[in-house]
Every structure is written in C-alpha cells, then in structure tokens.
Amino acid sequence: MTDIDIASLTKQTESVSSEFEKDFAATSNDLSHKAIEDVRIKYLGRKGLFTAISEQMRSVKKEDRPEAGKLLNSVKKNMESKLDQLRTLEKKAALTAQLDAKAYDVSLPVAQTAGSLHPVTLMRRTLLKEFRNLGFIVYDGPEMDLEDYNFSALNFKDDHPARDMQDTFFVKDLEKTVLRTHTSNIQIHAMRNERPPMRVVAPGRTYRCDSDLTHTPMFHQIEGFIIDQNISMADMKGVIDTFLKAVFGTDLETRLRPSYFPFVEPGGEVDLQCVACRGKGCRICSHTGWLEIGGLGMIHPNVFEAVDLDSERYTGFAFGFGIDRIAMLKYGLSDLRQLFEGDQAFLSQFPVN
C-alpha cells in the first residue's frame, strides 16, 4: 500500500468538510430528527465520508501521523458539535410547534387548572357546611381506639353479639384496641371532655372487615348528636329532615323506621326518598322507593352513665350516616369501590370545590 502524505489527507478533509458545511446549512433550515440522522450517517456512519478518510490513517507516513491525527480529530469534533447544535435546534422547534398547536391561556384563574376534589371530600364539606349552619361544632377522634370507646361505653355488653356483628378489625398485640367500626366512639370522647348543652358533628374514617358492591373495608361516616334539657324525638326528626333537605333538595321526603343499636333507645334508621326514581321504585332502591342513609335514636341512659352525665336531667339524640353512601346517591355512582380505586379519569370529573 502506498503511503499517504499529509497534504493529500488535508485536501480530502477540506473537500468533505465543505460538503458537510453545506449539508449543515441546509438541515438548519429544514430540521427533523431524520434529516439530522441522515447527515450523521453520511459523514460519521460506518460507511461515512469522514469515516473513509480516517480509515486511511493506517497508511499515513509515520512522521506525518501526529499531525494527521490532530487534523482528523478536530474535523470530527467540529462535525459532532454541529450535529449537536442541530439536535438542540430541532428540540426547540418541536417545543415551539407543540406550544403553538395548543393555546394556553395563562390568564385563567388557578382554580380552573388545579385538579379536582375527591367526591368524599366534596361530600364531607357539604355536610359539615349544613351542620355548621344548624349550629353544630366539628369534633375529631381517633381511628384506632380502645374497645371501651368503640363498644363498652356505648352500651355494648362484653359478650354482645353486636361486637362480632360489626366485623371488627382487632389490633394485633395491643390489648382491647380496635380500628373503630363507627364514628360513635367520638360521642364518648366528646361527652367525656365537654358538658351540655352540646351540638357536635364528627366525620371520619371507619373500618369493618367487609367488601362488595356497597361495602369497602374502609369507609366514611359522619356522627352527630345534641344533648340538652328537654331534647325530644321531634327535635331529632326536625334536625335530620332540615339537614337532608339542605343536601338533597326540598322535594324529597324522609322517613324514620324502628331499628336496634345498643346506644340508643328508641333507635331507628332514616330513609330518604330515592333520588333516582323519586319514590316510584327502581333498581337503585330495590323497588322500595327509599334509600337508607344511616342510624339514629335517643341516647341511651347507660351511655350518659358511662360518661358521668345525669340521665334524669339531660336527654339527647345521636345519628350516624355513611358519607360514601350519601356521595354515591348525590353523584349517581353505581359502585362504592370506585371511590377508592384512585382512577384519575373517574376522579377528574368532579369539581374543584
């Protein structure tokens, strides 16, 4: 093989470089990922024009090699840096095109682009607002609690089957501790901390070992009670009716049905006329025309005793409603579990406030 001298190598690189500059200029005016790749392959690819020159290195005269190496290096660096420039320009152009295609109105109020609130949050806020309007204060209590607060002080006897009936989660290694099965534990906390007259509501998470279309192991309740002198069932019916009408509208009837809970006497359940069929009977209300909202009743004298209140002097009523249940009715949901699956497509349908 004949030796190549530096002069011939320089000549070749000059001619390839000037061709490269032309391609560089043309591509700058017509940017695309493919166009840039084509240029790279044409010069630096396995069979590229520059690659072909650098393969001659082996045949360069020994004394010319250091200089030839420098030359080829600087030509290659120049090509690579110009290809990088093209890539940066291409990215910028793509971003500009994207921004132009979708017009953003940066002057829109933040609330309109700030996501949405969870339906349970929306419902809890609505309920609390209505109860505040009725003069209630909002109380909080522990989700993991002693059996005393969740059961005993609420007049569940030690061997009462209702303790099993509520599908209780007991806390391992902690004696007499449960995940609360209802928000009624807050009744006891509040009654031991405050004295009547009292008007309290308390929303929160509750837990039962249960899962199907209308039950999730974690769910939400809102508890409430009023204690004063001379509180009667008429007060109870009036407050519940006013509250439900405020949430669902004035044209739906409510009704009370007798039922049993150890901590109330008499006890009952409150039904709302079906929001879907307005009382005619449909699939949602199992053709009864009514939907169950929750339990309620006059506070049992044994509960007053457990919190050291004089049951001769005071009377009161308590209620506990399922927030998820009410949200389901209000927003027309078909499956309670939708609320807790974290599906963005579902959740983003709800308003911001």
Q: Which is nearer to ligand PHE, 13 or 181 (CB)?
A: 181
Closest CA to 179 of 208, 211, 139, 140: 208
Are the C-beta atoms of 178 and 150 separated by less than 8 Å? yes
Point out which span in 21-29, 105-113, 274-282, 317-325 binds ligand PHE (CB under 6 A). 317-325
Are the C-beta atoms of 318 and 231 separated by less than 8 Å? no
What is the DSSP annotation of 251-276? TS-EEEEE---TTEEEEEEEEEE-TT
Point out which span in 4-12, 101-109, 313-321, 336-344 binds ligand PHE (CB under 6 A). 313-321
Point out which span in 7-15, 167-175, 228-236, 315-323 binds ligand PHE (CB under 6 A). 315-323
Q: Which is nearer to ligand PHE, 27 or 185 (CB)?
A: 185
Point out which span in 141-149, 193-201, 240-248, 291-299 binds ligand PHE (CB under 6 A). 291-299
Binding mask 181-220 for ligand PHE (x = CB under 6 A): -x-x------------------------------------
Q: Name which position in 119, 196, 204, 295 contacts ligand PHE (CB under 6 A).
A: 295
CB of 139 to ligand PHE, least distance (A): 14
Q: Residue 350, by phi and psi: left (phi above 0), alpha (psi -120 to 50) or beta?
A: beta
Query: Which residue pairs, CB below 8 angstroms and at least 24 apart, start in 344-351?
Result: 347/116, 347/118, 347/119, 348/115, 348/116, 349/116, 350/116, 350/117, 350/118, 350/119, 350/122, 351/116, 351/117, 351/122
Is 304 a binder of ligand PHE (CB under 6 A)? no
H or E element, residue 129: helix 119-133
CB of 353 to ligand PHE, least distance (A): 29
Q: Name which position in 146, 202, 264, 328 contacts ligand PHE (CB under 6 A).
A: 264
Q: At what angle do helices 233-248 and 119-133 cross, to 10 degrees?
A: 130
Q: Which is nearer to ligand PHE, 119 or 224 (CB)?
A: 224
Q: Which is nearer to ligand PHE, 27 or 221 (CB)?
A: 221
